[in-house]
Amino acid sequence: MSGLPKRILKETERLMADSPPGISAAPKDDNLRHFDVTVAGPESSPYEGGVFKLELFLPEEYPMNPPKVRFLTKIYHPNIDKLGRICLDILKDKWSPALQIRTVLLSIQALLGAPNPDDPLANDVAQNWKENQSAAIAQAREWTRQYAQ
Amino acid sequence: MSSDGDNDDFLYEDEYDDGFDQDEEIDIDSTSEPDVYDAMSPAIEEAPQKKPYDVSWKVKTLQEIIDMQNKEISKVQALLEVPSSSAAILLRHYVWNSEKLQEQFWNDPSQALEEAGLSPSSSPTARTTALPPSPTKRSNRSLRPGPSSLLKRTRSTQPTGPFECPICCMEYDYSSTYSMGCDHRFCKDCWIEYLSGKIKGEGESAKIQCMESGCKRIVREEVIDDLVTKDISKRYHNLLNAAFVADSPTLRWCPHPNCEYIIECSQAPTRMLNQLVPTVECKCGNDLCFGCGYAASHRPVLCRIVRLWEKKCADDSETANWLQANTKECSKCQSTIEKNGGCNHMTCKKCKYEFCWVCMGPWSEHGTSWYQCNRYDEKSGIDARDTQAKSRASLERYLHYFNRWANHEHSAKLDAEFYQKTEKKMEQMQNSGNLSWIEVQFAKQAVDAVIKARITLKWSYCMAFYLKRNNMTELFEDNQRDLERAVENLGYLLEQNISDTDSIAKLRQDITNQAAYVQKRHDILMDDTLRGYLERRWEFTVDT
Ligand SMILES: [Zn+2]
Ligand SMILES: [Zn+2]
Ligand SMILES: [Zn+2]
Ligand SMILES: [Zn+2]
């Protein structure tokens, strides 16, 4: 694919050669702006032991605009909805062109370790998380076993 | 030395300073004072005198708004001895409250500068230490790892050799890069793309920060003007002015299309909007509400009630749509009747049955005291036994008021259209020498009075919908009914065939008299209702 900005080439190169622990990201053969991503559930979180598939797309305006990221694996999390969309500040108004694919994926991994039911995307999950946390965590663990292994 | 409380009082008074000084001393916060009402009553006939529920205002041009900002900026610039763009950034950060800004600045200049997004030291190059990490808030859940080796940063203090921009990863000469003195340097191409996107794409202006994640440094005006195209720079300044107006409780843009005036009014702060309806007139010739920005007068209804009503109408628009249909069937012979004039007094062409367009009842009953078209018969809802019937009754109650609200708006439009046709006839009469120019003006004046009264009537139905049933509400509805009748009578007269020159003199006299009566009934309704807020006479079914 010609005309891919140097910034994207460099980021891709580095992601392939030296990816952060628990994270993998590789561009698709037919579209180098489209990445297949996996994120391992953080230790001592209900997602531990799970491997979650995501897709990441770099829009034409990247890095002035944030990448588009979505979970493909079903996940029980207050900030991730049924369609896999993620509620994360740096993917919206807190995006900076100095951030990278790597930082985005690390932030998503951190979000798995620290769910925030006060700023929910999936309302029913968030409600459950607040009202009956142990049941919610058990549910998240169960979904991880069922869908992410 | 005054306490904090005294200070508050002082500010409070200051806000109203030029407000009511032309009036007698009237404390609009006090509860009802009948003698005040009596004293003011004679003023009803003489229009120009300012009423206690009126506000004074000024119409400003965009240039005057720019001058206002520049004046504040140079004041702060001189007082704090900072560059003018820093003064502007400081003022915007403190929402143009220069007293608070000065207090914070003299308390800790470095902190005040840093919080506003400026370099804590006056000279950018003197800064060598890295920025402290941005405060971590719980809501910022994202992880922000430090600078990576890939996107290596070069200190702004070492302007030698080629520079690799951390955003686009391309190499540049230092002259083609820019840093705000915050240790974050990027190429000018990236800056231009970033700034243009923020301004054009996201409509940002005063709060555009450094491109580095987490760096709070604000980009200065002159930097933006220097980097972006003329068009985008113009848009940027428009956005800055818009933000200034939006941030100021005493300013509001005229909402009418293509109008660029700004209204200044210090007498209608939000907390007064439960007792004032601050209708003002822009230099473009249109009315607006200073309280909420509604692009017309919505007197005598409070802003909050207007918002509730509009939401309700939007929610119930489907049920309401059919009501706005322009055709109805004659309730006697079922032939279709189209409404052409604004008058509600309908006569079926086929069977000559006369009826009221709004309630479809026979017109003859509208003249008697027991028949009332304006008042919803609450009794019909009392029989409701189950919840289904209750919700049906509540819908019917809403439709009763909505129907009348929508009908007056529709009628005002039809009245205006009807007048256009009449005007042609009048011109002909004037040309044939039967009437002078002055003599034909009566129709225009009458139509203006009808339209104005219909707009007030329209809102009076919104008001009535939210009023609690009590004696005061009945008095309100009596005034409403009197105005409604006066308007319908005048509307009926205006729709008479005026081409007959023999009867024109009599018709003109009737119309002139009726128009004066409409005006009088209008002023009574308006005056009594607006005073009612100041005297706290109105009780609503919702919070105001
Ligand atoms: Zn910076
Ligand atoms: Zn660059
Ligand atoms: Zn205007
Ligand atoms: Zn208003």
Task: Report whether B217 contacts B119 (CB < 8 A).
Answer: yes
Position B391 scores a pLDDT of 62
Position B333 scores a pLDDT of 66
Tell me how far apart the alpha carbons of residues A8 and B152 are, in angstroms, rounded to a whole number. Answer: 15
Is residue B377 helix, strand or coil? coil
Q: How far is B210 from chain A (nearest CA, A)?
A: 9
Q: Which of B131, B137, B143, B153 to mutate to test the interface with A (most CBs of A within 10 A)?
A: B143
| Domain membership flag for residue A142 | yes
Question: Are A116 and B141 within 8 A, CB to CB?
Answer: yes
Nearest CA in chain A to B195: A64
Phi first, then psi: give them for residue B186, nearest 5 degrees: -140, 165
| Residue carrying the six token digits 């800056």 | B191
Nearest CA in chain A to B194: A64
Tell me how far apart the alpha carbons of residues B411 and B409 are, in angstroms, rounded to a whole number. Answer: 5
| Domain membership flag for residue A73 | yes
Better pLDDT: B21 or B418:
B418
Length of chain A counted residue by residue: 149
| Domain membership flag for residue A70 | yes
Tell me how far apart the alpha carbons of residues A137 and A142 are, in angstroms, rounded to a whole number. Answer: 9
| CA B231 to ligand 2 center in whole angstroms | 22
Tell me how far apart the alpha carbons of residues B107 and B100 are, in angstroms, rounded to a whole number. Answer: 11
Question: Token digits for A144?
Answer: 């991880």
Tens-digit pLDDT profile for residues B48-82: 578 889 999 999 999 999 999 999 999 999 999 99
Number of domains in chain A: 1
Per-position b or e across A9-21, b if 16+ CB within 10 A of its CB: ebbbebbeeebee
Phi first, then psi: give them for residue B337, nearest 5 degrees: -120, 130
CATH, residue A134: 3.10.110.10
Strand partners, A35: A27, A56
Position B291 scores a pLDDT of 95
Query: How many other CB atoms are there within 10 angstroms of residue B500's CB atom?
Result: 9
Tell me how far apart the alpha carbons of residues A126 and A11 are, in angstroms, rounded to a whole number. Answer: 34
Position B48 scores a pLDDT of 58
Position A149 scores a pLDDT of 87
| Domain membership flag for residue A135 | yes
Which residue stretches of B248-350 are H helix? 303-315, 317-321
Stretch among A140-149, B25-34, B265-274, B451-460 having the lowest mean pLDDT:
B25-34
Within 8 A of B212 by CB-CB distance, chain A residues are 96, 98
Is residue B8 helix, strand or coil? helix
Tell me how far apart the alpha carbons of residues A76 and A84 are, in angstroms, rounded to a whole number. Answer: 10
Residue of B498, B502, B499, B526 lying closest to B512 (CA atoms): B498
Q: How far is A87 from chain B (nearest CA, A)?
A: 10
What is the pLDDT of chain B when averaged over all its residues? 78
Q: How many cross-chain Cβ pairs, A to B, lie less than 8 Å apart?
A: 75
Tell me how far apart the alpha carbons of residues B177 and B187 are, in angstroms, rounded to a whole number. Answer: 4
Task: Report whether B256 contacts B295 (CB < 8 A).
Answer: yes
Residue of B174, B199, B198, B205 lying closest to B187 (CA atoms): B174
CA B514, distance to chain mean position in Å, is 33
Task: Report whether B183 contacts A44 (CB < 8 A).
Answer: no
Tell me how far apart the alpha carbons of residues B176 and B189 are, in angstroms, rounded to a whole number. Answer: 8
Q: Which of A4, A80, A99 to mutate to test the interface with B (most CBs of B within 10 A)?
A: A99
Position B498 scores a pLDDT of 63
| Residue carrying the six token digits 């297949």 | A36
Q: Who contacts B426 (Cβ-Cβ below 8 Å, separation ≥6)?
A: B435, B440, B443, B498
CA distances from B261 to B76, B242, B361, B492, B515 (A): 26, 12, 47, 39, 33
The percentage of chain A sitting over the pLDDT mark of 70, rounded to a whole number, equals 99
Q: Which of B131, B138, B142 to mutate to test the interface with A (most CBs of A within 10 A)?
A: B142
| Domain membership flag for residue A87 | yes
Strand partners, B218: B209
Position A59 scores a pLDDT of 95
Position B129 scores a pLDDT of 36
Which residue range(s) make up the domain with A45?
6-147
Tens-digit pLDDT profile for residues A102-143: 999 999 999 999 988 887 777 788 888 888 999 999 999 999
Tens-digit pLDDT profile for residues B169-208: 999 999 999 999 898 999 999 999 999 999 999 999 999 9
| Domain membership flag for residue A32 | yes
Q: What ipTM describes this predicted complex?
A: 0.89
List, as one string, the DSSP characters of chain A.
-----HHHHHHHHHHHHSPPTTEEEEE-SS-TTEEEEEEEPPTTSTTTT-EEEEEEE--TTTTTSPPEEEE-S---BTTB-TT-BB--GGGTTT--TT--HHHHHHHHHHHHHS--TTS-SSHHHHHHHHH-HHHHHHHHHHHHHHH--
Sign of CA dihedral B411, B413, B416, B417: negative
Q: Residue B59: in which H helix or E strand, if any?
A: strand B58-60
Q: Which long-range contacts (CB under 8 A, 24 or more apart) does B361-367 make?
A: B366/B485, B366/B488
Residues of B within an 8 Å Cβ radius of A:
138-145, 148, 150-151, 166-170, 184, 190, 193-194, 197, 211-214
Stretch among A40-44, B91-95, B508-512 having the lowest mean pLDDT:
B508-512
Q: What's the first-to-final CA gap in chain B, in angstroms? A: 37
Position B158 scores a pLDDT of 52
Within 8 A of A5 by CB-CB distance, chain B residues are 168-169
Question: Are A103 and B150 within 8 A, CB to CB?
Answer: no
Tens-digit pLDDT profile for residues B465-512: 999 999 999 999 999 999 999 999 998 888 776 666 667 778 888 999
Phi first, then psi: give them for residue A34, nearest 5 degrees: -110, 115
**Pairing mode of beta strands A68-71, B327-329:** unpaired
Q: Is B76 exposed, middle or buried (0-12, 13-18, 19+ CB in 10 A)?
A: buried
Q: Who contacts B168 (Cβ-Cβ below 8 Å, separation ≥6)?
A: A5, A6, A7, B187, B189, B190
Position B155 scores a pLDDT of 45
| CA B202 to ligand 2 center in whole angstroms | 20
Tens-digit pLDDT profile for residues B386-407: 554 566 677 778 888 988 999 9
Tell me how far apart the alpha carbons of residues B247 and B235 are, in angstroms, rounded to a whole number. Answer: 18
Task: Report whether B346 contacts B357 (CB < 8 A).
Answer: yes
Question: Are A63 and B167 within 8 A, CB to CB?
Answer: yes
Which residue stretches of B108-227 are H helix? 109-116, 188-196, 221-227
Q: In the predicted model, what is the mean pLDDT of residues A70-78?
A: 95
Tell me how far apart the alpha carbons of residues B89 and B206 are, in angstroms, rounded to a whole number. Answer: 7
Query: How many other CB atoms are there within 10 angstroms of residue B380's CB atom?
Result: 12
3-state secondary structure B333-375: CCCEEECCCCCCEEECCCCCCEEECCCCCEHHHHHCCCCCCCC
Q: Maximum distance among all alpha carbons in chain A?
A: 52
**What pTM, to 2 d.p., does this model score?**
0.71
| CA B255 to ligand 3 center in whole angstroms | 7
Phi first, then psi: give them for residue B187, nearest 5 degrees: -75, 155
| Domain membership flag for residue A1 | no
Q: In the predicted model, what is the mean pLDDT of residues A5-21?
A: 93
Q: Who contacts B218 (Cβ-Cβ below 8 Å, separation ≥6)?
A: B89, B116, B117, B118, B206, B207, B208, B209
| Residue carrying the six token digits 């300073």 | B17
Tens-digit pLDDT profile for residues B120-178: 864 333 333 333 333 433 343 444 444 443 444 444 445 567 899 999 999 999 999 99
Residues of B marked as catalytic: 343
| Domain membership flag for residue A130 | yes
Question: What would you report as the CA-atom Rg of chain B, rounded to the nearest whole angstrom?
Answer: 32
